[in-house]
Structure 1
């Protein structure tokens, strides 16, 4: 799980850097995102006890960030899922010593962390980073594949880019705590919030398709990592 935490943290942080408005070229923006992702991967891998392996882990993380940042093609959407599956299948074979942050982590006087291992804590933080902006990128790519008319609704329903990360983080946290009832309340609240807009959709059904596709993909991303804990 530690290696997966490194990968998700690298991708999530790289995408977050793009929220900062700049006047640089697209290539410079990509180089910055890859550099930040690789640096985060290197620091986190070292902190989690991967030793010299942190170097190639950072290189691979940078390569994944580069691949997922390229223009949308038939194969780019599969890079991240394939990388996650590969990490889950082989990550346990990468040697890892006692994490340098172990002493600090164990000294934290937080009752809720007493039974949470360092890999699980790192993975939870990494997933949260991923859900903030990278998940928005995934949702938008799915909506783009759904058709130009569907993604065009994004101009009228812009709140999803703000509400999406909030509801994903809330659902992820509630799922980890086992509070299923509260997740149902969030889903119901989302339906109530979007109902007036969908109700004005009339015959086209595009707003409904946009909301439903976007919501289900977003919720799925929030829940897909929960079984790993």
Structure 2
């Protein structure tokens, strides 16, 4: 479990740095500092080997999942990462004495004491469903050749979408709506609020219905909505399942 927690935390934090730190030298320094923090955290939690493996997997993720383009591996790195996370969570249960941190760690909750491994996994899952999940959704849309709103005036060159000025300056709410939606899905799933979850997902379909109804014969908008939404929901539900499994193992 600690391996899954460290991998998701490292990958999620790295992608957030790539997205919100535009200057490359500063971003590189922050990524190195993040790697050092992961190693230090692993050492203090008696999981140094897991921290090293997490950094290796994170480096492979950054190489295979570029920020504003689709890599040659498409979304398959995410599938592999999901398999590793599921296997590590199932085969490595929560530890009762996670090194030095275990001696001082205390996190009470209404359901009982929350272990360090579970808490770190929850943080890693939340980090991953923000920017990292956006990369996976975009890769899935690009692989399937799904129509995208910017395609009406843009051109795809070398895996990078070139948008005209009038579209590039418009409000791109998807980058914010997607992470917020996934975070809500994770929280509602873990809280067992399935009726609220179903209502939220249904409301999204209702809000998007006027746009989808203008599809005509191609069905492109509906395909775009379904592919993007389903991939996004699978990631969020998968993250929630990992946290639930960790908490009950």
Q: Which runs of 5+ in 1 are unaligned?
A: none
Alignment of 1:113-152 (within 5 A): 114-147=112-145, 149-150=147-148, 152=150
State the superposition RMSD in angstroms. 3.2
Tell me, yes or no, if structure 1 residue 203 matches structure 2 residue 217. Answer: yes
Instruction: Label 1:179 to 1:4 Cα distance change in 2 as closer, same or farther (>3 A).
Output: same
Partner in structure 2 of residue 66 of structure 1: 62
Q: 1: distance between equivalents of 2:27 and 2:65?
A: 7
Q: Could you tell me whether the CA contact under 8 Å between 1:12 and 1:134 is conserved in 2? A: yes
How far 1:186 moved relative to its partner? 1.0
Choose the corresponding residue for 1:41, options 38, 42, 60: 38
Instruction: Label 1:83 to 1:37 Cα distance change in 2 as closer, same or farther (>3 A).
Output: farther
Partner in structure 2 of residue 214 of structure 1: 228
Q: 1: distance between equivalents of 2:151 and 2:16?
A: 24
Partner in structure 1 of residue 194 of structure 2: 180
Partner in structure 1 of residue 79 of structure 2: 81
Partner in structure 2 of residue 12 of structure 1: 12
How far 1:87 moved relative to its partner? 5.3
Aligned length: 222
SS of 2:20 mapped into structure 1? coil
Deviation readout 1:1-56 (Å, 9 max, x if unpaired): 111010010000001012325244xxx588457535523432432343214x2663
TM-score by length of 1: 0.80
Q: 2: distance between equivalents of 1:217 and 1:170?
A: 15
Partner in structure 1 of residue 175 of structure 2: 161
How far 1:69 moved relative to its partner? 3.5
Q: 2: distance between equivalents of 1:169 and 1:41?
A: 23
SS of 2:110 mapped into structure 1? helix
Partner in structure 2 of residue 50 of structure 1: 47
Q: Could you tell me whether the CA contact under 8 Å between 1:105 and 1:118 is conserved in 2? A: yes
Q: Could you tell me whether the CA contact under 8 Å between 2:6 and 2:51 is conserved in 1? A: no
Q: Could you tell me whether the CA contact under 8 Å between 2:5 and 2:125 is conserved in 1? A: yes
TM-score by length of 2: 0.74
Q: Could you tell me whether the CA contact under 8 Å between 2:65 and 2:135 is conserved in 1? A: no
Instruction: Label 1:85 to 1:160 Cα distance change in 2 as closer, same or farther (>3 A).
Output: same
Q: 1: distance between equivalents of 2:137 and 2:172?
A: 13
Instruction: Label 1:14 to 1:203 Cα distance change in 2 as closer, same or farther (>3 A).
Output: same
SS of 1:100 mapped into structure 2? helix
Tell me, yes or no, if structure 1 residue 227 matches structure 2 residue 241. Answer: yes
